[in-house]
Structure 1
């Protein structure tokens, strides 16, 4: 997966907003896995992944439905941002790069 920037987190959080709260952990993990798969594909072939794009979390998230981006005064959005960051940390921890 490419380095995770603010835009990646906000787009992934917007994707999680469209998912039921109980399914967000799994959806966040799926987005991270798709970004990682795409990055590996790009590294191997030099071409974008046909479904997940360039290996960024933003590209993986943008293939899904996205909610409008609220502000940080929205507790549901904040929970989604936190879940995205946790998914990235779990992935990085699993890869030994935390």
Structure 2
């Protein structure tokens, strides 16, 4: 997967925000897996993956519906943001 920046985490969290809480963990891991597979594809074929994009988490997330980005005063958004960070940490 390409280096993860704020926009990657924010995009993934916005996808999770519009997802039922009991499905968020598996969807987060799925997006990370897609980003990893897309990056392998990009490096091998020198072009983006047709479904998952350029290997960034943002690209994998933006293939889905994103909620409007709230501020960090929204507890649900904070929980989703934390979940993305936790999944990334567990992957490393």
Q: Distance in 2 between matches of 1:31 and 1:85?
A: 13
Match of 1:54, SS state, is coil
* Gap runs ≥5 in structure 1: 93-98
**TM-score normalised over the length of structure 1:** 0.92
Matches within 5 A, 1:34-53: 34-53=34-53
Post-superposition offset of 1:91: 1.4
Q: Give per-residue Cα distances to partners, 1:35-64, cap 9 Å, x unaligned.
A: 000000001100100000000000000000
Q: Distance in 1 between matches of 2:16 and 2:22?
A: 11
**TM-score normalised over the length of structure 2:** 0.98
Residue number in structure 2 paired with 1:95: none
* Gap runs ≥5 in structure 2: none
Aligned residues: 92
Post-superposition offset of 1:18: 1.1
Residue number in structure 1 paired with 2:8: 8
